[in-house]
Structure 1
Amino acid sequence: MFEIIQILRNAKRPRTAQQIAEELEVTKRTVYRDIAALQAMRVPVEGEAGVGYVMRSGYDLPPINFDVEEAEAITVGLALIARTGDRGLNRAARSAAQKLADSTRLSETVFASTWGVEEPEIIDLTTVRKAIREDRKLRIYYRNAEGVETRRTIWPIAIAYHSEAIVIAAWCELRKDLRHFRPDRVSEYEELNEGFIGEGDRLRQEWIKDYASWL
């Protein structure tokens, strides 16, 4: 619903439910439901299905106040996300920056280079992050450093973004152990309906203990 408010506040003309749904990657039914909820909360959204919606002028979001150090930290942090090579995170960072800019002043005195890891050609890291959140398995075709390819079913539990590479932490059914996989070495992948519900948190804590020791 916050996203809908942002879209309508920045729109120059009425936006249809279809346009909003496409921008947010949701269904029109979801947009209709959320707009009805906003109207019920007295947010001044006007319009109707098939015509378009507008935000009545004068509506302001609650202010967000950061001190100077916080504003500088957020500015640099959002800029550094461009180094991850994760297209979905980059898109989210731009959206977050716009939201913050609409409600508070970020720093204009600190900058960060966007040079970093290139976006993987095959696997979409947005899909990986979704699989992590949902405890859902992935099947991947993976080439190791020697170029040998194997088919793996993995239980993804975390992504680590390093300056030189991205690594997906996962339980590997083939090796029966926790392993790291570089997305740029994945030649093919598939989302599976099979999950590992309830195991993700346990495996993640086990991985974090070992991961922290070599940071």
Structure 2
Amino acid sequence: MRRADRLFDVIQVLRTARKPVTAAALAEELEVTVRTIYRDVATLQARRVPIEGAPGLGYVLRKGFDLPPLMFTIDEIEAIAVGARMVQRVRDSELQHAAARVLDKVTVVLPESLRGHVADAPVYVSRGDAVAPKVDMAQMRAAIRDRRKLRIGYVDEKGHRTRRTIWPLAMAYYVDVSLVGAWCELRKDLRNFRVERIASSRMLAARFQDHNGKLLAEWLALPKERPPSRV
């Protein structure tokens, strides 16, 4: 591991810690010696990273400190590039635009020598076979975040049409299809709705309750290897 990457990892561990982290714990986490951790912490402190503490007592990172966005490893840069390209598969135009903006922002702040790893990453991601949805995917994701009910018109594989009020819990993205996982008021059960079969969708003012995330936990426990839609 490059030293610059290790210094980054020291900061990351301290940022997420809820209590002081000893040099021994950091050394075990990063697979280096305690002496190396002492040197790394001293280097970071000399660079004005607000790490407080002392050997034997543990270290904490003062709240409010943030990392500049250019501190990515090459693997992380390529992960961003691949992830942004994979978003093209989900046929969600707002997510696609957001992914493009992420790539632009990352590219701008990177050193010149690393920009090619984003703009010209040697990877190819197929567009997949998902059908473009007829409804606003951004609205569906907003309903999931805000726990707002949706009134949808749904067409099953036999062409039968129904009107449903659903409690949208999550999105599931596959290469060839995207699903909305929801509680269906009509069926009184969890259901997966294929987004390309949702003919219409309207967000309602009414909100739903998912106490302690129980419904979401039940949905997450369902088999996820390309589950069929259930109507």
Q: Distance in 2 between matches of 1:210 and 1:74?
A: 29
Residue 161 of structure 2: aligned partner: 149
Instruction: Report deviation, 1:113.
Output: 3.0
Q: Distance in 1 between matches of 2:216 and 2:125?
A: 31
* 2:92 counterpart of 1:86: yes
1:195 match? 207
Q: Which moved more, 1:127-136 or 1:73-82?
A: 73-82
Structure 1 Cα separation of the partners of residues 156 and 106 of structure 2: 41
Q: How many Å separate the matches in 2 of 1:64 and 1:190?
A: 40
> Structure 1 residue 99: deviation in Å?
1.0
Paired position in structure 1 for 2:143? 131
Instruction: Name the counterpart of 2:131.
Output: 118
CA drift of 1:196 comes to 0.6
CA contact (8 A) 2:210 2:216 kept: no
DSSP 3-state at the match of 1:115: coil
Distance 1:136 1:199, change over 3 A: farther
Consecutive unaligned residues in structure 2, runs of 5 or more:
1-66
AA aligned to 2:188 is K
Q: Given residue 222 of structure 2, which amino acid in structure 1 is its aligned partner?
A: D
How many Å apart are 1:132 and its aligned residue?
0.1
Structure 1 counterpart of 2:89, which letter? R
Normalising by structure 2, we get a TM-score of 0.62
Counterparts of 2:177 and 2:154, CA distance in 1: 16
Instruction: Name the CA distance, whole Å, in 2 between partners of 1:201 and 1:77.
Output: 27
- Measure the CA separation in 2 of the matches of 1:114 and 1:87: 17
| Identity rate, percent | 38
Structure 2 counterparts to residues 162-177 of structure 1, below 5 A: 162-177=174-189
Which of 58, 77, 81 is the equivalent residue of 1:75?
A: 81
Measured against aligned partners, the alpha-carbon deviations of 1:76-101 in whole angstroms (never above 9, x if no partner) come to 11111111111111011011111111
Contact 1:135 1:200 in 2 (8 A): no
Of stretches 197-206 and 80-89 in structure 1, the one that deviates more from structure 2 is: 197-206
3-state SS, counterpart of residue 164 of structure 1: coil
The 1:119/1:134 distance shift into structure 2, 3 A limit, reads same
Q: Aligned partners of 1:173 and 1:154: how far apart in 2?
A: 6
Q: How does 1:174-185 map to 2 (within 5 A)?
A: 174-185=186-197
What letter is aligned with 2:109?
S
- Give the superposition deviation at 1:200: 7.9
For the aligned residue pairs, the C-alpha RMSD in angstroms reads 2.0
Identify unmatched segments of 5+ residues in structure 1.
1-60
For 1:63 and 1:144, the matched residues in 2 are separated by 45
Give TM-score scaled by structure 1 length: 0.66
- Tell me the residue number matched to 1:140: 152
- SS of the aligned residue for 1:153 comes to strand
Distance 2:225 2:157 in 1: 23
**1: CA distance between counterparts of 2:191 and 2:141?**
17
Is the Cα contact below 8 Å between 2:89 and 2:127 reproduced in 1?
yes
Residues 141 and 199 of structure 1, relative CA distance in 2, 3 Å threshold: farther
Cα separation, 1, equivalents of 2:101 and 2:163 = 36
